[in-house]
A and B are shown apart, each in its own frame.
Chain A
Amino acid sequence: MGFDPASPEVLEITANDKWIAIHPIVLSMVAALGSKVAPENIHCQPLEAKSRHYLVRMGLFRTLGIPSDISIVEHEPAGRFIPVTRVRTSDELTRFMTEMIPLLHLEPGQARTIGYIISELARNVIEHAEAEQGALLCAQYYKKSNSIRIGIADTGVGIKATINRAHPAETDLDAIRLALWPGITGATAREGGTEQNAGAGLFFIKSIASVNRDFFVIYSGRGLYKLLKKPASSRPHLKADPFDDRHSKEGELPFWQGTAVGADITLDQTAEFSSLLDAIGNTYRAAVRERVKARYKRPRFI
């Protein structure tokens, strides 16, 4: 996937003629870009790939408000996906959680994990992104890997602007690093956060992905952080600093005005949420204590 932000008033969608394999984060990003463009300025090349119906099933053209002549073969009546959906308010999100998560047909424990991730990500957008168009999100079940892939994107102020309200971050990547750190929020520099924000949401999500050896990516401005899948043999260990995790990063990508997040959650190795919380709690407490200790006054020995 690539995108060129040079002409934000026009959206041109192109795809490979032979195949289309799109992670939900990309669908969400296309939908988010399109949400700021008048439908008459959105152009999609005729799609030739056999898998083109996927874009229709996921509701991309409906969300963009443009017609499509691709017919769908309804081979899986209920499907196991959440089509591209826009969420703007807290109540819309609660409704979404009640009505849409069941479309993924998950076991209760799995639904809890997926619901947790979607709720925290979407609330970040609603509360911090200042995105007029809200959060654009979708999810898809992949039978071969027995995983749920989630994508959520917005065209708001981006992580750097949000974090900089309380913490200095020179680059988009610095800001992403801080946003993933437990207890760091753009809402305040105060330890423990504000009454509404703790700065823990993204850390929890990255931790869920890390413990399950899953994929997690976050893109904002020119920065991108990708948590790499860990080999099955390695012992999962949570880190407060996301740069201590096995990861890759980019700092000079085409500028994404806003934030986009993608996560793959493999269902058959999803750790019991309850035991995962033990590890998250320990890492979180250690990180808070370290930060508090770093601010202690030191005795002056003269």
Chain B
Amino acid sequence: MKISIFDKAGAFAENKDVARDIRALEILPALEKGEEVVLDFDRVDAATQSFIHALISDVIRKHGGSALDRLAFKSCNDTVKKIISIVADYMQDGLGPPSGGSR
């Protein structure tokens, strides 16, 4: 499944309600069906940490770090890449050491 962030949140992705809907209605159901999800950030100029947190933190909390094996981030600029990395890191740090299975 491929999701265009620009189509849903615009060039400056900051609306957390939109992020919540993408997470709850698209990302989580797809992962639970075993599908791979591609979040396409093409034409997204910037995103807030809050937006990215609302988009992926619960995915990592529910599926553990292994969620990142089935979740890919496409066409991110440097800024967006760094914000995604910060959120992915602190979520995994907060989970403790990897247990090998999903949480």
Contacts and interface: CB of A to CB of B under 8 A. Distances in A.
Interface stretch (B8-16, B34-42, B63-71): B8-16
Contact of A97 (B14, B53, B89, B95): B14
A288 interface: yes
A54 interface: no
B96 interface: yes
Contacts of A195: 20, 23, 54, 57-58, 61
A196 B55 CA distance: 8
Given A90-B16, A292-B96, A277 B79 contact: yes
Contacts of A204: 49
B16 A280 contact: no
Contact of B94 (A94, A192, A197, A277): A192
Contacts of B49: 120, 198, 200-201, 204
Interface in A118-137: 119-120, 123, 127
Contact of B53 (A198, A281, A285): A198
The A interface is mostly helix, strand or loop, or mixed, namely helix
Given A274-B79, A281-B85, A196 B12 contact: no
A280 B82 CA distance: 10
A281 B86 contact: yes
The bracket for how many chain B residues form the interface is 20 to 34
Contacts, number: 100
A115 interface: yes
Given A196-B16, A292-B93, A292-B94, A277 B45 contact: no
Contacts of A200: 49-50, 53
A51 interface: no
Q: Which one of B14, B57, B96 has the greatest number of beta carbons of chain A within 10 Å?
A: B14
A107 interface: no
Contacts of A108: 45
A288 B90 contact: yes
Nearest to A115: B12
A115 B12 CA distance: 9
B7 interface: no
Q: Which one of A116, A192, A285, A292 has the greatest number of beta carbons of chain B within 10 Å?
A: A192
Contact of A116 (B46, B78, B94): B46
A116 B53 CA distance: 14
Contacts of A198: 49-50, 53, 57, 87, 90
B4 interface: no
B5 interface: no
A274 B46 contact: no
Contacts of B23: 195
Contacts of A123: 14, 16, 50
A203 to B, nearest CB: 9
Contacts of A98: 10, 12
B90 A284 contact: yes
Given A90-B15, A94-B14, A277-B79, A201 B94 contact: no
9 contacts: A90-B15, A98-B10, A195-B61, A201-B50, A274-B79, A277-B82, A277-B83, A281-B89, A285-B93
